[in-house]
Structure 1
Amino acid sequence: MKAPVQVEKWSPPNRPFLKLNVDAATDGKCGVSGVCMALRDEVGQLKFAAHQVIPGNPPVLAIEALAVLHGLKLCLQEGCRNVELESDAANVLFALNKSGLDLSIEGAIFDEVRMLMPEFEHLKWRKINRSCNQVAHTLARQALRATGWSFWKEAGPPWLEEVIDNDRIF
């Protein structure tokens, strides 16, 4: 008899942190990509969420790095300076921990993220499983069907609120 599989879920940040979850998605057939970000507090309440469609099929690493960059920029814009960033893109987080010259396509994005870091009081990140990143994953998939940039503050559309509510059961 097999033991039941325990699915990992989103976990709330500790005060004074807010948690930023980011993700990206691509649709090679349609030639679009999407980046997204969702910021929530210690009870799982949405502070903001956003997604953006990006035309073309840039490398996945570049799209995932753009999600981090745009998410951190929005945090600063909204006055959030204590942030725990979570992503399921381990390669992006690994690259951000490296120092030195990076001549890859994504190198300029990583450099821009590193330039933002001093603007935060506290910024930490960690890799998580997709099951812990459902809100961001759903936003990224929705971005593939959107046009342009969408931003929600304090509350999202019904389809997003449903995912947040399901995710908030800690």
Structure 2
Amino acid sequence: MKTERSLHQAVTHLNIADPFTAEAYAGLQAIKLGIRLGVNKLTVLGDSKTVIKKCQSLFMDKSVIGAIITDTQSLKKGFQEIEFIFVPKEQNFYAHTIAKESLRSGESFYLEKEIPETVWRTVENLWPYRPD
């Protein structure tokens, strides 16, 4: 039996047209990471209500991101439990800081229960104490 883990992944991609598409692709990448790691339960957080609703839906999506959503929906079957949760961008600060650091360094990586020191330094400029 697999235990619950907190995972973060930063993947750099070229040729993504807009933030809306990037958010949809990030959800797909989260699911692929969960499959590779063999987790049974997955929670995907995102700050686009539209993308989260499309991922939750059981219907075929015909929008610009339809192919990404279709791939996401087809991979959901690989989990005993999967949920997609909207979180406002302000509450998703770490994810955005990690993404910016990945873009700056040009490196792709994933994290398990750790946040890189460069992200901590960026956060410390805004907050004097590390959050729990």
Q: TM-score normalized by structure 1?
A: 0.62
| Shift in Å, 1:90 | 0.7
Structure 2 counterpart of 1:74, one-letter code: L
1:54 counterpart = 2:18: no
Q: Distance in 2 between matches of 1:106 and 1:53?
A: 18
Structure 1 counterpart of 2:130, one-letter code: N
1:144 counterpart = 2:103: yes
Q: Distance in 2 between matches of 1:52 and 1:156?
A: 15
1:88 counterpart = 2:50: no
1:103 counterpart = 2:67: no
Q: Distance in 1 between matches of 2:39 and 2:119?
A: 22
Q: Distance in 2 between matches of 1:156 and 1:75?
A: 18
Aligned partners of 2:10 and 2:102 also within 8 Å: yes
| Shift in Å, 1:153 | 4.1
Show structure 1 runs of 4+ deviating over 6 A: none
3-state DSSP of counterpart to 2:101: helix
Structure 2 counterpart of 1:55, one-letter code: L
Describe how 1:15-26 pairs up with structure 2 within 5 A: 17-18=4-5
Aligned partners of 1:65 and 1:109 also within 8 Å: yes
Task: Give 2:126's aligned residue.
Answer: none
3-state DSSP of counterpart to 2:12: strand
Structure 1 counterpart of 2:78, one-letter code: E
Match of 2:30 among 71, 84, 103: 71
Structure 1, unmatched stretches of 5+, are 1-15, 19-39, 41-47
- Larger fraction in helix: 2
| Shift in Å, 1:161 | 5.2
